[in-house]
Copies of this chain bind each other. A is one copy, B any other.
Amino acid sequence: MWGGQYSVPPADIMAEINASLGFDKALYAQDIAGSIAHAAMLGECGILTKEDSDGICKGLREILREMESGAFPWKPELEDIHMNIEARLTELIGEAAGRLHTARSRNDQVALDLRLYVRDAIGAIDAALLGLQHALLVRAEEHAATLMPGFTHLQPAQPVTLGHHLLAYVEMAGRDRARFADCWARLNESPLGAAALAGTSFPIDRHRTAELLGFERPMANSLDAVGSRDFALEFLADVAICATHLSRLGEEFVLWSGPLGFIRFSDGFSTGSSIMPQKRNPDAAELVRAKAARTAGNLVQLLGVIKALPLAYNKDMQEDKEPVFDSAQTLLLALRASSGMVADFTANIDAMQAAAGAAYSTATDLADWLVRVLNLPFRHAHHVTARIVKLASDKKIPLEKLSLSEMQSVEPCITQDAFSVLSPQASAASRTSFGGTAPENVRAQIAAWKEKLA
C-alpha cells in the first residue's frame, strides 16, 4: 500500500490498532461523493483526460450502488473505507483508478468526508428538532390553560400552565437549531485540495470542487484544512448541549409519570418488569436522560484527542470519527424518542390542577397584592406573607381557608379583596408580563412559533 520502502507487512497488533474500516465505512457515501467531485474537477482542469475522469466517476457510482445494495465485496485487510473503494475501483476500471489520487491525499480526503458527514448529520438533527418543536406545540396548544405547579427546587413555586412549560422546551430547541445552523455555516468550507498539508503543484480548481460539493468556499489555509477539527468539536458540543436539554425533559417525564402523577404513558411508551407485574416504567425517558452523559463523554474524548496536537495531521485524529458518529446517532435517537413521548402522554389534568393550588403556591400573589394595594415595600410584603403562610401552615389549611380576621391579625389593612388573588387560575391569568404564563400569552407565543416554523 505504501510502496517500495516497506519490505514486511504490519505486525498483527499494528494492523489491528490501525484498522478503521469497522467504523469509517459509515463514511462511504461521503467518500464517494468527494471522489466524484475531485475526479470531475481533475477532468475539467485537464489534469485527467475526460475519458479517465468519466470512467472514474462511473466506477464510483457503481461502487455506491454496490454498497447500498449490499453487494460490495468488503475487504477488512484493506483497513479503511478509502482503500476499499480505491481497490474496488481498480478492479472495475483498471489503471485509471490510480489517477484518482492525483493532487489529493488521505489527509484532505478524510477531513472532507467527516465535514460532509457532519453536514448531513446536522440536516437530520435539524429535521428531528423541528419535529420535536411541532410535537411540543401541538400539546402546548391543547394545554395552553391547563394549570400545573411551576417548580423551583422541585417544590411548587407558582402556578403555571402546562402549555407554558412545554413552550420552554420549544425555546430551547429553537436555540439548539440555531447553534447547529451556525456550526453548519462555519464548517461549510471545503478542505479538498489541501492535499497532504501544503497544497499541490497541480493546477487544480478548489473553488470548483467546493461548488460541486455544496460548500461555500474552499478553506484558505492548507495546514488548517487538514489539521483542524474544531468543526467536529463544535458539533459535539452542540449535540451535548441539545442532549442536556432533552435530559431535562426526560427527568420531568420520569417525575411526572412517577411520583407527581401528572401524566401517564400508553403501553407503547411503557415497559414492565421481569419480576414485578405491576410496573409501567418510563424507560425511554430514563434513557433520554442518560444519553446526555454519553454525548458529554464523546465531547471529552475529542477535546482530549486534539489537545496539544502539533500541526498538521496526526494519527490520533483517526479517533475523531467514532465520537462524532455516536453523538449524531445518539441525539437522533433521543430526539425521536422525545417527540414520541411528547405526543404520547395523557395529562392527568385534575392531578395537575390540584397540585397547582397546593403548597401555598399563590403566596407571591398575596405579597404582590400587599404591594399593589397597600403600597407596602416588597420586602415588607414578603415578610407579612410569610407570617400568614406560617399561620395557615400551622393549621394545615390553605391560604384561602384563613379567615379575613386571621389575615388581619398579621396585617390589619388586608381586605376581602386579597382573597381574589389566591386561586391558581387567577394567579396564572394575572401573569401577563411578556413571557409570563397567562394563557393568553401562551396562545400568542404558540401562534408566533407556528408562524416562525411555517
Contact = CB atoms under 8 A, between A and B. Distances in A.
A215 to B, nearest CB: 13
A3 B284 contact: no
A70 interface: no
A306 B244 CA distance: 7
Contact of A284 (B14, B150, B158): B14
Contact of A377 (B99, B198, B294): B99
A163 to B, nearest CB: 11
Contact of A199 (B16, B287, B288, B433): B433
A453 interface: no
Most B CB atoms within 10 A — which of A97, A103, A287?
Answer: A287
Given A308-B292, A433-B193, A372 B95 contact: no
A304 to B, nearest CB: 3
Interface string A275-294: 11111111110111111111
Contacts of A390: 4-5
Given A13-B337, A297-B301, A308-B308, A202 B433 contact: yes
Given A160-B223, A281-B153, A433-B206, A199 B438 contact: yes
A387 B290 contact: no
A11 interface: yes
A292 B316 contact: no
A421 to B, nearest CB: 8
Interface residues of A, number: 196
Contacts of A416: none
A380 B94 CA distance: 12
Given A151-B311, A289-B316, A241 B233 contact: yes
Contacts of A179: 182, 186, 234
Interface stretch (A27-35, A60-68, A117-125, A261-269): A261-269
Given A282-B153, A308-B247, A312-B150, A435 B219 contact: yes
A385 interface: yes
A246 to B, nearest CB: 10
A431 interface: yes
Contact of A157 (B18, B176, B273, B283): B273
B267 A8 contact: yes
B297 A300 contact: yes
Contacts of A314: 152-154, 286
B377 A251 contact: no
B230 A268 contact: no
A150 B454 CA distance: 47
A280 B187 CA distance: 31
Interface in A313-328: 313-319, 322-323
Contacts of A302: 293, 297
Nearest to A206: B434
Interface in A1-57: 1-11, 13-14, 16-18
A18 B309 CA distance: 22
Interface in A407-433: 410, 421, 427-428, 430-433
Contacts of A218: 434-435
A401 interface: no
Most B CB atoms within 10 A — which of A99, A288, A384?
Answer: A99
Interface string A383-406: 111111110010000000000000
B199 A441 contact: yes
A250 interface: yes
A59 interface: no
Given A387-B5, A437-B222, A278 B101 contact: no
Given A151-B310, A153-B281, A237-B238, 16 more contacts: A4-B386, A6-B272, A14-B340, A98-B379, A105-B274, A151-B311, A151-B312, A154-B310, A155-B280, A195-B275, A201-B421, A237-B299, A248-B311, A276-B363, A278-B360, A287-B315
6 contacts: A5-B386, A153-B254, A167-B224, A220-B445, A237-B237, A293-B303
In the A-B complex, the 7 residue pairs with the smallest Cβ-Cβ separation, listed nearest first, are A199-B436, A2-B272, A293-B304, A3-B386, A98-B377, A297-B301, A4-B387
